[in-house]
Each structure stands twice: as structure tokens, then as C-alpha cells.
Structure 1
């Protein structure tokens, strides 16, 4: 996939701007206020998307949900282990959301993929809807990706939560980033491999159909 300006803007609004808002607000209004301030860019972006295209930005909602969970975790207490555990809430919530969406007519990854395609091309949302209806393999692939990411993120959260509650804090701080980034990298590499495999299968079917025709 080519890196498009719309995709870069989406990443900036949902990740870079919240981080900048947090860092700028932290010295002035404290951690809770800074977390709330970090939710402003994705909320504004979602409002603009809703006004322009009559759709809600799924990625922005996920980012805001993670920030809300962080604020809620802070309200539960400020012990060091609770703060360590708070870091796992976002990925855990996303993983559980993926798994809960599996029985639905369209899993959560469908909406994330549709939002991405809609930004990359004119009429992308309608095009993706058509592919969903016309290609039987696409819903199966989306559900497989939803399942793998849901299990992977939930497992990462469970592992890091156990480490946060049982390991010495110093050891957790050293090892935890490697665990988290290792799992994310593994999921990303699996996704690239799976997409390539599915694309090869589709191309083979289309070539076979062309020969038969």
C-alpha cells in the first residue's frame, strides 16, 4: 500500500497531536487534565468526519476510548502497580472489542478497513462495501484478522497485567516494552503475510477464471 497524505494526517491527528497536547498540558493542569486534553484532537476530528461524510471515525473512537480508560484507571488509585497496570488497559479494551465483534454481521476490523479505504480513494467506502458483498473470501479474511488481533491483544494485556502485579517494578519496566512491541510486531508481520497470501489466492482464482473463459 502506498502511504497517502490522508493516512498520514489520520495518524497525526490520532497519535501525534494527542501526545503533543498531553505533553503541553501536563506541567499546567496535571496528569488527569493532560489526559483529557489529549482526547480533544481525535474528538474534533471525529466531529469533522461526522459533519463532512456522515460517518464516525473508528480509529479516533478507539483512541478516545483508551484515554477514557486511562482516566478511569487513575480514579481507581495512584499506586505504582495500578499505574503500571493502566498501560495495558487500552490494548486490552481493543482486543476484547475485536472478540466481541466477531458474532456481529460485520466485525470491528471491517469498519477500520473501510475508513482507511475511504480516505485513500474517492468513493472508497462504497467500493469497499461492494467488495464485501461480491467477494465471499473478504468477510472470512476480516473475521480471521479480527480473531487473531483480538486474541493477540488480549493475551498481551493479560501477560503484562500479570507481570505488573507480580514482578518487581524495576524488572517490569525493563522487560515490558519488549513484550508489548514484540507482540505488536508479530501481529503486524502476520497481517502482512496473511494479506499477501489472500491476495495471491484471489489472483490465482481470477487467472483461472480468465483461462476458463
Structure 2
């Protein structure tokens, strides 16, 4: 699969379809059911991907885990503020996981990259494993991407938690959505440009 097609597929599976399912379900079934509906495309994709290609999609698994955590917070006996802040709290937790993964041999971005490359052709993931061991520059670049994404996600969601606490209800959703998509757009653009620069310098 060509790189641009991989990015489009990842966006459709992990962002577009869950968001569509959530929007369709929300007016009729409420927030909890809408969250469960948003997880259906992710679970279906993970199941299909593993059954068809014997491949486990790490990115979809992370997104599905974040949906499950959001649902757990929503249905918990927590206070109103905590329930309203569930999404940025979960996103911030994912960012912390990125940073904590730097303490182990292979950080989270390694597994996300490996999962993506595995779809290109059979054996591509083994080649990536070998490059990780043979090319210190690759390991450094993966760790840098982990740092950037981890800090970016933590900062984004800290801002969004602040929005929930200090901004009027009328503007919360609009500002929170603006911060979220702006952050993801910036991180994605940086990742693409950094990857191109890395490949060019090799």
C-alpha cells in the first residue's frame, strides 16, 4: 500500500468512521450508546485485520482503548466536571503513556510504525525490527517522535481540561474541538515533514 493511501485508511478507520457513528447515534441513543457505537468500526477493523492478514493494528487498539476509558468515566459515579472532562483526561492519559514508553526498550511510536509498515508487504515488520537494531539514527528519530507526540497530547488535553473548567458551556465544545483538531493537524504535519527529512538524509 502506498504511503498516502495508508494515511487515508488510518484516518478513515480511526477518525472518520468512529466520529460518524458517534454523531449518528448521539441524537437517538445518548452519549453512552454513542460512545459504544463509535467503538464498533474500530473493533470490526481490528477483527478483520487480524483474521485476514494476521496483523494487529496498534493504532486502532489505542483509539479503542481511549473510547473504553471515556465510557468508563462517563458511567462512573464521578462528579459532573470529571464526566465533562472525560475526553481530554483520556487523551492526556494517552500522552502520558507515550512519554512513559520512553523508559522501556521500544517506545509506543515504534509499535505504531511497525503496525503501519506491516501492511505494505509480508515481512516488512521484520525488516523494521532489523533496522531498529542496526540504525541508531532510526531509534533516535522514533524516540523523538514519541517525545513530540507525548508532549503534544498532554499539552493539548491540559488546555482542553482548562476550557471545561473556565469557559462558559456555550463555547466549550467549539473551543475544545478547535484545540483538538489544530493539535492533531500540527502533529501530523510535523510527523510527515520530519519523516521526509529523515529519509532524505539517509
Given the two structures, how large is their TM-score scaled by the length of structure 1? 0.80
1:112-151 Cα offsets, whole Å, 9 max, x none, are: 1111111133432122222212212111110111011101
Over 3 Å counting, the alpha-carbon distance change for 1:106 and 1:122 in structure 2 is same
Taking the aligned partners of 1:23 and 1:180, their CA distance within structure 2 comes to: 17
Distance, in Å, in 2 between the alignment partners of 1:133 and 1:47 is 30
Unaligned runs of 5+ in 1: 203-213
Q: Match of 2:4?
A: 3
Gap regions ≥5 residues in structure 2: none
Q: Which residue of 1 aligns with 2:184?
A: 184
Does structure 2 conserve the Cα–Cα contact (< 8 Å) formed by 1:7 and 1:116?
no
* Residues 85-116 of structure 1, C-alpha deviations (whole Å, 9 max, x = no match): 12313421321121111111111111111111
Change (3 A) 1:171 1:80: farther
Residues 83-122 of structure 1: matches in 2 within 5 Å? 84-122=84-122
**In 1, are the aligned partners of 2:152 and 2:183 still within 8 Å (CA)?**
yes
Q: CA deviation at 1:34?
A: 2.3
Moved more, 120-129 or 60-69: 120-129
Residue 148 to residue 10, structure 1, CA distance change in 2 (3 Å): closer
Stretch moving more, 89-98 or 10-19 = 10-19
